[in-house]
Amino acid sequence: MDLLVVGSGFFGLTIAERAAAELGKRVTVIDRRSHIGGNAYSEAEPQTGIEVHRYGAHLFHTSVESVWEYVNRFTAFTGYVHKVYSNYRGEVYPLPINLGTINQFFRAAHGPDAARALIAEQAAEFDTRSARNLEERGISLIGRPLYEAFIRDYTAKQWQTPTTELPAEVISRLPVRYTYDNRYFNDTHEGLPVDGYTAWLERMADHPNIEVRLDTDFFDTAQPLNRAATVGQVPVVYTGPIDRYFDYAEGELGWRTLDFEQEVLPVGDFQGTSVMNYAGADVPYTRIHEFRHFHPERDYPEDRTVIMREFSRFAERDDEPYYPVNTPADRERLLAYRALADAERGVLFGGRLGTYQYLDMHMAIGSALSMFRGRLAEIL
């Protein structure tokens, strides 16, 4: 073995594939889960055959041509364009906030200039630069009515914290489009893998120089590829939580996690779209995914559908971490962990967990490609 990769998400598999295919290295990938692919893993729901994203919806999009060229080596993509809607007080609005949202909410027929003037007038209540918390900044960006309808309670559910107690820097901007364009992403390329995420991930690992071992915990000394036995003996790319690697020596980093309730319903179509947000505080979940809408080109049952309700909360140590909380205390701890990571010879830290950054899939892949072209050569 020339390289050990800890974690089989997109970052780890990109590193493994490049090292095996481009450099001819023998790579072992380990993952503590029983499946490949980290949070991007998908599987067919047994009753319906509908592809379900086990850890919440994953939508691929990028404007980075090198990333787009790379991922197309392993999968073709559908023409899926992601659109999101929000249920607020029993009425459905398009998101992100656009001219359609504004006119529907205010029962108006504003053109772009009139809508801009309206939002500017409502946003004048607070100055963005001097906003003391998330609520004041949100109002300064889009005005109080739209903020209270679509941002306040939804964000409080995500963070389990009132927005008046969240720091202003949690949001830097809230996009408002003064057209009727309600595409969620602005990237050049967008789509879903034709054969699903797991097929894509398995093709990345399908190389004679790559061995994947599942149900293998890097910190379990009962298995041979553990931290104590490998670090210093073989180059390592580690994509797990950085604080866990150092046994929480500088304290635990804060994460939010997600819980899901999956249900098969005896209807052909539950909500008519792939993702519906629930903006109000009266609904405990943040959104509902309906997976049949991600692949309308597939032959799915006409009398059954799969939905998944998503709940957000702060993560405990044994939970799957999703989004960095990134408080000032977290950032201070992260600096200490980065110093420890820089001093760890023969080990590189990458991915969402290893860098304590929220990375979309294309960002994780791009970051791995950059590491392969740069720092990986230092340890191989």
Catalytic residues: 173, 177, 256, 287, 310, 358, 360
Q: How far is CA 178 from CA 118, 125, 128, 150, 257, in A?
A: 11, 21, 20, 17, 33
Extract the tokens encoding 227. Answer: 């931290």
Give the three-state DSSP class for 91: strand
| Amino acid at residue number 104 | Q
Matching residue, tokens 């960095």: 324
Strands 210-213 and 42-44: unpaired
How far apart, in whole angstroms, are the C-alpha atoms of residue 324 and residue 268? 37
Contact 237, 350 (CB under 8 A): yes
The b/e string for 30-46 (b: 16+ C-beta within 10 A; e otherwise) is bbebeebbbbbbbeebe
> What is the per-residue DSSP string for 93-153?
EEES-BHHHHHHHHT----HHHHHHHHHHHHTTS-GGG--SHHHHHHHHH-HHHHIIIIIH
How far apart, in whole angstroms, are the C-alpha atoms of residue 212 and residue 230? 16
